[in-house]
Amino acid sequence: MSDHAYNFAYLDEQTKRMIRRAILKGIAVPGYQVPFASREMPMPYGWGTGGVQVTAACLTPEDVLKVIDQGADDTTNAVSIRAFFARTAGVATTEATDQASVIQTRHRIPEAALTEGQILVYQVPIPEPLRFLEPRESETRRMHALEDYGLMHVKLYEDIARHGEIATSYAYPVKVEGRYVMDPSPIPKFDNPKLGGMAAIQLFGAGREQRIYALPPYCDVVSLDFEDHPFVASKADHACDLCGSEVSYLDEVIADDRGSRMFCCSDTDYCAGRRAAGHRGRLSPEEVA
């Protein structure tokens, strides 16, 4: 039951129209950051206000919403955003990736391949990939206009000169459809190969920075690299200690005060699904009573 003190999905209709127009222009120019008039939301900047506004503009009463934070469905940010839309839009919520029609995410792409009919909404802190190289908005805008991305390659080159490899491990810059360099939000570079050719629509919302951008389905997305230092999607060199998966992205968790550690899938739905199917890892008991 939605809370009738609010309009459907919290935002007023004129705000939603403004956001919807920005989303459509973002889809039409993949990777370009469309300015929008971000609203104050009942949560602080940095807690996903951009993603929440994009989700609010997309939700229909029939949608099933999943929210993840670093892959997990049960963290504070994910739980509170899910509760927010259950209350203000009355939509059904789920933790199962394949049951969801709209998935709002902070810093991960689900392990399971997404399908047509799904929308993935990213929460973005700093949408401008050139921002740490050039602080002036007027200059970065001009650099995008002129396709002047040499500075980004210099940055990656300096990584190699200093560390022997490209040390950027998250928010790894990509080039979209051979035109715009885009920040994929702080997803691990392990997730970068999933950005391109995805069947689902990908929308990116940055609330504080007031930008929306998008990737249509089956989009051409290339992680920037060099011929002699090709892009590598890396992960921790372990198997999940709970479900035994050797292909999923892992979190390292400190298990006690004596320095023991464990690795487990950051995608909680993927990990739980594998354990339900009987897969076991180093630290999970064979049979759960």
31 included as an active-site residue: yes
Q: How far is the CB of 101 from other proteins (least distance, A)?
A: 9
Task: Give the pair of three-digit tokens for residue 125.
Answer: 């802190």
The residue annotated as part of the active site, out of 51, 71, 219, 240, is 240
In the complex with other proteins, the residue whose CB is nearer, 88 or 97, is: 88
Per residue, the 3-state secondary structure of the chain, as one string, reads: CCCCCCECCECCHHHHHHHHHHHHHHHHCCCCCEECCCCCCCCCCCCCHHHHHHHHHHCCCCCEEEEEECCECCCHHHHHHHHHHHHHCCCEECCCHHHCCEEEEECCCCCCCCCCCCEEEEECCCCCCCCCCCCCHHHHHHHHHCCCCHHHHHHHHHHHHHHCCCCCCECCCEEECCCEEECCCCCEHHHHHHHCCCCCEEEEEECCCCEEEEECCCCCEEECCECCECCCCCCCCCCCCCCCCCCCCEEEEECCCCCCEEEEECCHHHHHHHHHCCCCCCCCCCCCC
271 included as an active-site residue: yes
Q: Which letter does DSSP use for residue 38 in this model?
A: P
> How many Cβ atoms sit within 10 Å of the Cβ of residue 257?
6
Q: How far is the CB of 62 from other proteins (least distance, A)?
A: 8
Q: How far is the CB of 60 from other proteins (least distance, A)?
A: 4
In the complex with other proteins, the residue whose CB is nearer, 57 or 240, is: 57
In the complex with other proteins, the residue whose CB is nearer, 53 or 248, is: 53
**Pairing mode, strands 221-223 and 174-176:** antiparallel
In the complex with other proteins, the residue whose CB is nearer, 177 or 251, is: 177
Q: How far is the CB of 233 from other proteins (least distance, A)?
A: 22
In the complex with other proteins, the residue whose CB is nearer, 219 or 271, is: 219
The residue annotated as part of the active site, out of 205, 207, 271, 273, is 271
- What does the binding site for other proteins look like in residue numbers (CB under 8 A)? 7-9, 13-14, 16-18, 20-30, 32, 34-35, 57-62, 116, 141-142, 144-146, 177, 179-180, 199, 201, 214-220
- In whole angstroms, give the CA distance from residue 192 to residue 166: 14
The residue annotated as part of the active site, out of 58, 219, 243, 264, is 243
Q: How far is the CB of 182 from other proteins (least distance, A)?
A: 13
Q: How far is the CB of 145 from other proteins (least distance, A)?
A: 4
240 included as an active-site residue: yes
In the complex with other proteins, the residue whose CB is nearer, 42 or 61, is: 61
Distances (CA, A) of 155 to 151, 168, 172: 6, 10, 12
58 included as an active-site residue: no
219 included as an active-site residue: no
Q: Which are the catalytic amino acids? A: 31, 240, 243, 265, 271
